[in-house]
Amino acid sequence: MLYSDKVMDHFTNPRNVGTIENADGVGEVGNAKCGDIMKIFLKIDDGIITDVKFSTFGCGSAIASSSMATEMIKGKPVSQALELTNKAVVEALDGLPAHKIHCSVLAEEAVKAAVKDYYDKNGIEYDPEMFAQKHDCEHCG
Ligand code: FES
């Protein structure tokens, strides 16, 4: 079986699909190679992610990764969302095939982009290093 039960579950029954009106942070990223696009919306109260939604125009692994990523950051402090790595998402999904790892990278990047948007909108200072690409994907370098 190429895909784990968890990947199939999050693909066929994705959590937190949709958009948030007046979101506190929105992040949109795309993968130039496959053309897939992922958008993450955050509602943030007192530094806590109280709601998160995603819309993904992409492959099944990208949808499963976004679904899992939203579950992993919901109810968590923003600082913790920033620490979410694509590796953690892949582990939570019980693995992805090697050529699909880059799909999980989209999830990490979209979450980070949404947090950055929140910081920018609110004039919160941050170390740009925090948004440096640290993900684990042979295609992305
Ligand atoms: Fe593009 Fe999966 S093939 S994100």
Closest Cα to atom 2, ligand 1: which residue?
A: 103
User: Is 103 annotated in the active site?
Assistant: yes
Q: How confident is the model at residue 38 (pLDDT cuts 50, 70, 90)?
A: very high
99, 49 Cβ separation under 8 angstroms = no
Predicted confidence (pLDDT) per residue in 67-96, tens digit: 999 999 999 999 999 999 999 999 999 999
pLDDT tens digits, 8-35: 999 999 999 999 999 999 999 998 889 9
The total domain count for the chain is 1
Residue-range definition of the domain harbouring residue 98: 5-130
Average pLDDT of every residue of the chain: 94
59 in active site: no
| Ligand 1 atom having least distance to the Cα of 36 | 1
How far, in Å, from the CA of 36 to the mean position of ligand 1?
6
CATH of residue 101's domain is 3.90.1010.10
Output the pTM of the full model: 0.94
Q: Which atom of ligand 1 is nearest to the CA of 61?
A: 2
Pinpoint the alpha helices (H) of the chain: 5-12, 60-73, 78-82, 86-92, 101-121
